[in-house]
Structure 1
């Protein structure tokens, strides 16, 4: 039985002249076709639109929903006077950093202060269905050493303040100012998860349980493992590749958990170093392998990931899709590489963001 998969994609709403982020999400949602409004959500920041797919088992079906969501949202944005752009961090500026109009969001903003007024960040969140939450928690623990690689593969936010940050994923660097964002702690049951979250809320560092935004977590709403480490992906094909890799990992690690194979111990300092390095270098150089405790070429680590999950990919009918996606990734680079390349050849950052807006909505 194939594991189900669903995706939440966050997009920035940018002014087509200044490329500043604009707080127009409610107007854009109102401009969506009526049948797609239920698939849209506003986030903490009013310059972000989130679009959600239905639960799918086939990745072709998933891609169809992703593409339809993007086309409709891009057209609604155009009618509102903004552009929908798939990038992981505010690339130029966000003059209005007000939060969504709800008592909860205002309370969160008061609790976290200036952190809550940082420029907006956008991710792609993949949900993979699992039968119970204890399994979900143990899979999240087993995912820990793999997630820095997924972060490097999907890094797509090299610009901030109108300048190249020198990092492939500024979202990953800036996001860790929030105490709820970071590697998943090693946990062995849902009761362990609930106890850990309750301790964090009691400590004051976590405003509420819903603000646990670890890179992988058991969803509080659905019977899924939710992987949140990825930047917003440039195209529907990039998002489908991410979903395939995540589903392959969850399927592979679920089998290992059921077989009582212990998750590998990962030193916390090396895991955090691996995430920082993934955000910094992306796929352009070496990455930190937290299991082997050494630097390795990104291409070698991707090949190792593919070998590890190939049986699960084959069982889901995703093997050829992932092979093609990884070849494209090798030839074209991740989103950060492609955005920098466009900035060099398309009239600087404004030209690159115009091209990315077109790419975001491409069929």
Structure 2
């Protein structure tokens, strides 16, 4: 165990491994009541005054949400340090604004609606989707993994589709919605399912196929533009990356790093499969939807759905198969030992959702304390750090400005 903020994480990746970037979305709530509060403009201003790089911190759709991004990172040690620094900066700004920063993918406490964030695109999104997004206080952890070009990105996306529900089960961190126990471990995915083009993407086949599918949804009026889509993984519309959008916001930095390590290993494995001419798994839309639903409902403690055989299997069996699938890629990057240990710890401690439920059973104050502790929980892993936190040049994994 290392001291908080030491940026410790798995050993550095070998030359040639994909770069990565991580985006984390957080909730802002009243420090006493836990009610969502619309203080994002004030918090972002305070971060800037404190010397925070404005490129790293952005508004989200509603004023009860903020987002932080890392630079383009060469390894997950670098990402871990930047994630911890970002969380600390936002938490301090939130405290100064009389708020608390919560690492939860949905709002766990009751509260009224908050205003929309400023920006023309946010207004267009609200105009297009109205009540669906009027109280869309959900937060995700998005992972960008570098690829050579869009054609490669599409080939990778086609091949990582079966593993998306397992990534979701590992990340589950939203059992409550505005004070209610939903019975799901990832209520965020149920909220997101109301939006068109959500869930596991279809097989695109090619970059042209992907462009046609996005253009079709935009033409239907389901998307405000072709930069907006809700699939759980996609070729980034702005950067040469594969963007994983499946995970709930992580309770701790370790859990965000775990998603980053697994996402990168999946990209490496899928890229090799595409180069070798191995076709992607082809399974029906209902099987895909059922697999996501099962992961959101049960997480790691119940039945998942095997999309290859179209049958229920224990969710933990799917985790074991995921680790076997990416084992070689993790060994090449130097992350294998840390990732296996992180998964074992997650199974022992429970997912973020399980930990929220245990704390929530003791009352609101216990849950607030638990989430605050998780936010800046010390980062674990090997002591070596490839770059001091905050020293890398900020290269955004997406363009500035309001977007979803």
TM range (shorter): over 0.9
Tell me if 1:205 matches 2:242. no
Contact 1:181 1:215 in 2 (8 A): yes
Q: Give 2:42's match in structure 1, choosing from 7, 27, 39.
A: 27
Contact 1:93 1:119 in 2 (8 A): no
Contact 2:141 2:247 in 1 (8 A): yes
Superposition deviation, residue 119 in structure 1:
3.8
Give the match for residue 348 of structure 1.
363
Give the match for residue 13 of structure 1.
28
Q: Distance between the aligned counterparts of 1:107 and 1:88, measured in 2?
A: 24
Name the SS for the 1:13 alignment partner: strand
Tell me if 1:63 matches 2:80. yes
Give the match for residue 143 of structure 2.
126
> Where do residues 21-170 of structure 1 align in structure 2 (5 Å cutoff)?
21-32=36-47, 33-170=50-187
> Where do residues 199-278 of structure 1 align in structure 2 (5 Å cutoff)?
199-278=216-295
Q: Distance between the aligned counterparts of 1:199 and 1:37, measured in 2?
A: 35
Superposition deviation, residue 2 in structure 1:
1.1
Q: Distance between the aligned counterparts of 1:350 and 1:266, measured in 2?
A: 45
> Where do residues 317-356 of structure 1 align in structure 2 (5 Å cutoff)?
317-344=334-361, 347-356=362-371
Q: Give 2:208's match in structure 1, choosing from 191, 200, 219.
A: 191
Name the SS for the 2:308 alignment partner: coil
Q: Distance between the aligned counterparts of 1:188 and 1:161, measured in 2?
A: 40
Superposition deviation, residue 98 in structure 1:
2.0
Contact 2:68 2:86 in 1 (8 A): yes
Contact 2:301 2:316 in 1 (8 A): no
Moved more, 129-138 or 290-299: 290-299
Once the two structures are superposed, residues 63-109 of structure 1 have per-residue CA deviations (whole angstroms, 9 ceiling, x without a partner) of 11111111111111101110001101122234233211112211221
Contact 2:111 2:178 in 1 (8 A): no
Once the two structures are superposed, residues 224-277 of structure 1 have per-residue CA deviations (whole angstroms, 9 ceiling, x without a partner) of 000001000000001001100111111000100111110011111111000001
Contact 1:94 1:119 in 2 (8 A): no
Give the match for residue 293 of structure 1.
310
Contact 1:36 1:69 in 2 (8 A): no
Name the SS for the 2:24 alignment partner: strand
Q: Distance between the aligned counterparts of 1:36 and 1:96, measured in 2?
A: 29
TM-score w.r.t. length of structure 2? 0.87
Higher relative contact order (CA 8 A, sep 6+): 2
Contact 2:154 2:206 in 1 (8 A): yes
Tell me if 1:312 matches 2:334. no
Q: Distance between the aligned counterparts of 1:209 and 1:176, measured in 2?
A: 19
Which runs of no fewer than 5 residues in structure 1 stay unpaired? none
Distance change >3 Å, CA 106–CA 94, structure 1 → 2: farther
Give the match for residue 173 of structure 1.
190
Once the two structures are superposed, residues 106-130 of structure 1 have per-residue CA deviations (whole angstroms, 9 ceiling, x without a partner) of 1221111111212400000000000
Q: Distance between the aligned counterparts of 2:257 and 2:126, measured in 1?
A: 33
Q: Distance between the aligned counterparts of 1:6 and 1:239, measured in 2?
A: 11
Contact 2:192 2:198 in 1 (8 A): yes
More helix by share: 1
Contact 1:45 1:97 in 2 (8 A): yes
Superposition deviation, residue 333 in structure 1:
1.2
Contact 2:36 2:114 in 1 (8 A): no
